Structure 1
Amino acid sequence: MARTRFDICLDEVLRHEGGYVDHPSDPGGATNMGITHKTLARWRNISPWWKLPKAQVKALGRAEAARIYRASYWDRSKAGNMPAGLDLVLFDFAVNSGPDRAIRTLQAELGVVADGQVGPLTLAAIQRRVAGTSAAGLIAALCDRRLAFLNRLSSFPTFGKGWTNRVAAVRKAALATIGAATAPIPPSSTWSTTMDFLNGYKTYIVGFIMLLAAGAQLLGVELPALDGASAGQLIMEALAVIFLRRGLKGDIGKA
């Protein structure tokens, strides 16, 4: 029996997901073959999800994992309706960051309404894009957008190297599917990645600069550009900026 595109793409996804892990910095918690504790509990209709023992996650078999992947990620993202190569890129993105994020990112690249639903308009836009610039161009663009999103995550310092390698490997496999070569990464990409990383911490950077300026004033250094702001005022504003960001981040994480 011939292997389907789902089977082939699932092999690539599982190659990156690996087996059972329970990393303390991973918001997904206990995970096996990329299936999180919460995802498995919901699949088995167990509520609340934490009532499913972690041992069940560890004992998850490939056959059940494949059914979850097909229903929750492959079918949800309509990867089976995509050209070969793009199906893998979208599927792996959906697995790694959620179908809604993957679909909306693809729709943003296509210039259609980013509603998280793959319908006739999105599929037609894909056909036009592929006819105009080839599937390789769309594959590369979606991978670039995915990597830019990952670079902005606060957990990038912990998982960034693995994520970057994964996107590169998926891009290579997808392009190989259509017989296209992987384009070399331009020198500017390293600078762009660095700036994306710093962008996620720009509030802290501003606060730190304000504290440095306050320290300079305390040492008697005049800084005309500060419009007469006192060292004490700068310190209070810097602390307010930093702790406001931390508070917002905490509230968002609890939402």
Structure 2
Amino acid sequence: MSAENFQRALSLVLKSEGGYVNNPRDPGGATNFGITQAVYDGWRARRNQLRQSVRSIGMADVTAIYRDQYWDAIRGDELPPGIDYAVFDAAVNSGPVQGVKWLQRALPASPVDGHIGLVTLGAVAGINDRAALIERLCAQRLGFLRRLKQWLTFGRGWSNRMASVQAAALAMIG
């Protein structure tokens, strides 16, 4: 449970997300390093900066956006290694609220509200089998992805990503 885990988790997410993409079949639209144009526009607007193409995003902004809008939103610094990465990757892909809900559903005795508070953190701390928790979280996420209409287009890549996320998360609990 360390802030250093953010950098390790971010490097893995960036490997999965890649560079600039604007696939017309992707409802997220144009993205670069996994940051959508809409997220980048919002980020820049809150800083009173003019709109610019996500294609031009710098790594400092990428890191700051991932830290602020995803890692901090899931309280990544307070989650154990492996679980932090699995929830972070889910948050990046489907939003922090949904990523946290998958974690909460995988826990015994945790309300499913999409926000990590003391009850959820306590439930995570009480887990003896972190590997099983990661596996349940990833299984829920994969099940969700399989039900999306874009599965036929992106399913192979999503399956590969989920296998990679699960393997890396399990390796982190070492």
Question: TM-score, normalization: structure 1?
Answer: 0.64
| Corresponding residue of 1:119 | 117
Q: From 149, 160, 173, give the equivalent of 1:154.
A: 149
| Counterpart secondary structure, 2:60 | helix
On the 8 A contact 2:44/2:51 being kept in 1, the answer is no
User: 1-side partners of 2:76 and 2:86: how far apart?
Assistant: 9
4+ residue stretches of structure 1 with deviation over 4 A?
none
Would you tell me which structure has more helix in proportion to its own residues?
A: 1
Deviation readout 1:128-163 (Å, 9 max, x if unpaired): 2x22xx211111110111100111111111111101
The one-letter amino acid of 1:167's match is: M
CA contact (8 A) 2:18 2:33 kept: yes
What do you get for the CA RMSD once the two structures are aligned?
1.6
The residue type equivalent to 2:166 in the other structure is R
Deviations 1:19-43 (A, max 9, x none): 0000001111110000000000001
Return the structure number with greater relative CO, CA threshold 8 A, min gap 6: 2
Partner of 2:166: 171
Aligned AA for 1:7? Q
Structure 2 residue runs without a partner (length 5+): none
1:68 alignment partner in structure 2: 65
For 2:95, the equivalent position in structure 1 comes to 98
Kindly report which structure 2 residues correspond to 1:3-82, keeping only aligned pairs within 5 A, or say none.
4-45=4-45, 52-53=51-52, 56-82=53-79
- Identical amino acids, percent of aligned pairs: 46
**CA deviation vs aligned residue, 1:14-65 (integer Å, no higher than 9, x gap):** 000000000001111110000000000001117xxxx934xx2101111110
Match of 1:191 in 2: none
Q: How many residues align structurally? A: 169
Provide the residue aligned with 1:144 in structure 2: 139
Distance 2:143 2:51 in 1: 35
- Secondary structure of 1:45's aligned partner: helix
- Tell me the SS of whatever aligns to 1:20: coil
> What TM-score do you get using the length of structure 2 for normalisation?
0.92
Which of these two proteins has the greater Rg computed from alpha carbons? 1
Query: Given residue 82 of structure 1, which amino acid in structure 2 is its aligned partner?
Result: L
Counterpart CA distance in 2 for 1:113 and 1:176 is 28
For 1:114 and 1:43, the matched residues in 2 are separated by 28
Partner Cα separation in structure 2 for residue 171 and residue 164 of structure 1: 11
| 8 A Cα contact 2:97 2:114, kept in partner | yes
Separation in structure 2 between the aligned mates of residue 108 and residue 177 of structure 1, nearest angstrom:
21
Gaps of at least 5 residues in structure 1 are 180-255
